[in-house]
Amino acid sequence: MAAIASAKSSSFAILFAFRYYSALVMKIILSLLVFLGTVVFGEFPTLPALAIALWFLFAYELFFRSSHRLAFREFLLALYGLNYLLAPAITYTFPDHLVSYKMKMPRDEYFELAIPAMLCLRIGLFAIKTKIFDVPYEAVRLQAHINQRVLKGWVIAGIILSFVFRYAPTELGFFVYLLSLIRFVAAFALFSLDRKKYRWWVLGVLFFEISKSIMGGMFHDMAMWLIFFCIFWVYLAKFKLWVKVSLASIAVFSFFVLQLSKSEYRQKTWFGNEEAGLEVFQEVVSKNIAAERGLFSQANIASSLTRVNQAWILASTVNHMERTRDFQGMNLMSRYIEGALLPRFLAPNKITSGSKDIFNRFSGHRIGSNTSMGLGIFADGYIAYGYWGALLFGLGLGLLFAVVFKIVERWAEISPFFILFILPILNYAVRPDCETQTTIGHLVKSVVLYGLLVVTYKKYFTKEVSFERKERTIPRFKTVP
């Protein structure tokens, strides 16, 4: 028997190694083909072509791993790669009159910084092993079944809190906002329990988010939660390749049209005389789709890429720092940490989220009170220690994410259901255009808040399971400790 078990173990090991290395070889071959294609047919120089190939590798991993795990690390890399690799590689090829925000670095110098920085981010993300993204959904379904009433209450409470947080004091308002995001956690959990029965719950939550975004003219939250739902849905349903291709095509098209339309929509509703609503939004979208110059004209592509090109801020910051040599070491980061973690009564002089002073001082640009831009993690790293600082901060951000994943993994030992809290934790933190202070603050405060919810729910869950065992109302399930 021992010999048979050993033979089976060896067979599984060989099969796993074969599948792993064959997939690795396939990724290398495809990335090489993309690199050669952009050089030969796209006439891209070597380093921009390498950047595009690296972004393709991230997108490939997101696309093909999404059926086997919750591909949030892969999504984060693809999103950062879109901003720091793909968008600038294409932007450098456009004539100056089409580029609103120009790259103030020589092309090759920029990619000599951006490519290693992105690789450092990836190393940090995968440095600590975690099982959090391989969700045991049988266990999640059990606990969703036991606590359906609680989850429904969370959906309703989250929607109510999404209105309340605007009227709460600033320090408290952020926690109320974080707490309101439990509506997504609860709706997604119900959806995982019974997709047919609870589809209207999750669609209702998403429709509420879309309506709120259209009325306010701010679409970041809407876009992020729609993407999160698609990642979650693909993992649950294990879609075939053609379905995933269709969903990806719809997502890219919708994102492209939204990027073209949102500025005009805001102009009409914020500064014009038209009232915000679906009718005006639909009118703007239809106008852009039916434009005479063509939806996918070079001007439209340049305009859309400009809005996802966080690289121009990095390039401007590098250009400015090389001229001024005003490197800060850890001074700026310590201010970020103070602003993110300490309440104002303990740190009355802490910097505020959205402050323009730091951006105006270090980016080489000046923005007004009505404009919001963040330097981003790589620019903050360059401000600290130059080239090596950008790489170090990229690695540090990846490690910070990895630590958060391990914390949530510990929550999953109490209940696999708690894995879904990773969604609101990542909501802001995955955005490349966020200020480093906002990223750190969101991660730490959300971990603390949802950690308290985990402790509270742990006691409730024990009572619920004991009751269900006593009444034997769902004997087909086994209790997960």
Please indicate, yes or no, if residue 288 is contained in any of the structural domains: yes
Dist. CA 439–CA 429, nearest whole Å: 5
Residue 201 in domain? yes
Query: How much is the pLDDT for 481?
Result: 32
Q: Output the pTM of the full model.
A: 0.86
Contact yes or no for 476/141 (Cβ under 8 A): no
Q: Are 480 and 139 in contact (CB under 8 A)?
A: yes
Query: Is 18 in a helix, a strand, or coil?
Result: helix
User: CB count, 10 Å around CB of 86?
Assistant: 23
Let me know if residue 8 belongs to a domain: no
**pLDDT tens digits, 51-62:** 999 999 999 999
Task: Provide the 8-state DSSP code for 310.
Answer: T
Write the DSSP symbol of residue 71.
-
Residue 224 lies inside a defined structural domain of this protein: yes
Q: Which residue has the higher pLDDT, 449 or 11?
A: 449
- Give the gyration radius of the chain's Cα atoms: 24
**Residue written as tokens 């049209």?**
257
pLDDT at 221: 86
Specify the higher pLDDT residue, 216 or 169.
216
Q: How far apart are CA 265 and CA 271, in angstroms?
A: 10
pLDDT above 80 (res 151):
yes
- Supply the pLDDT for residue 353: 67
Long-range pairs for 155-159 at CB < 8 Å and ≥24 separation?
155/183, 155/186, 155/187, 155/190, 155/201, 155/205, 156/183, 157/182, 157/183, 158/182, 158/183, 158/184, 158/186, 158/205, 159/183, 159/205, 159/208
Backbone angles phi, psi at 371, to 5 degrees: -115, 135
- In this prediction, residue 420 carries a pLDDT of 87
Residue 280 clears pLDDT 60, i.e. is over it? yes
| Ramachandran class of 217: left when φ > 0, alpha when ψ lies in -120 to 50, beta otherwise | left
Cα–Cα distance, 475 to 481 (Å, whole number): 16
| Residue-level pLDDT at 479 | 32
98 DSSP 8-state letter: G
Q: How far apart are CA 174 and CA 444, in angstroms?
A: 12
Mean pLDDT over 429-446 rounds to 86
Q: How far apart are CA 31 and CA 53, in angstroms?
A: 5
pLDDT value of residue 203: 93
Quote the crossing angle between the two packed helices 220-237 and 182-193, to the nearest 10°: 20
Q: State residue 137's pLDDT score.
A: 59
Provide the domain count of the chain: 1
Kindly state the average pLDDT of the residues 258-277. Answer: 80
Please check the confidence at residue 419 and state whether its pLDDT lies above 70. Answer: yes
Which phi-psi region, left, alpha or beta, contains residue 43 (left: φ > 0; alpha: ψ -120 to 50)? left
Cβ contact 49:38 at 8 Å: yes
Q: In whole angstroms, what is the distance from residue 399 CA to residue 402 CA?
A: 5
Using 50, 70 and 90 to split pLDDT, how confident is the model at 382?
very high
Q: Are 63 and 97 in contact (CB under 8 A)?
A: no
Identify the weakest region by mean pLDDT among 97-101, 173-177, 196-200, 370-374: 370-374
Q: Is residue 3 part of a domain?
A: no
- Within a domain: residue 11? no
Average pLDDT for 20-25: 67
Tokens linked to 268 = 């009409």
Provide the residue range defining the domain that includes 344: 44-471
Look at residue 6 and tell me if it is in a domain: no
- Produce one character per residue of 275-293: b if its CB has 16 or more CB atoms within 10 Å, e if not: ebeeebbeebbeebeeeee
Percent of the chain's residues with pLDDT above 70? 83
Alpha-carbon distance values, 260 to 65, 87, 283, 400, 457 (Å): 30, 15, 13, 34, 43
Mean pLDDT, the chain, integer: 81
What angle do the packed helices 137-146 and 436-471 form, to 10 degrees? 70
Q: Which DSSP symbol is given to 219?
A: -
Once rounded to an integer, what is the mean pLDDT over residues 452-480? 52
Exposure string over 102-124, b if 16+ CB within 10 A, otherwise e? ebbbebeebbebbbebbebbbeb
Asked if residues 184 and 423 have their Cβ atoms less than 8 Å apart, the reply is yes
Please, what is the Cα angle at 96 between 90 and 97, to 5 degrees?
A: 115
What's the whole-number mean pLDDT along residues 184-210? Answer: 89
391 Cβ partners below 8 Å, 6+ apart?
116, 117, 120, 381
Residue 67 lies in a domain: yes
Residue type (1 letter), 149: R
Look at residue 51 and give its three-state secondary structure. helix
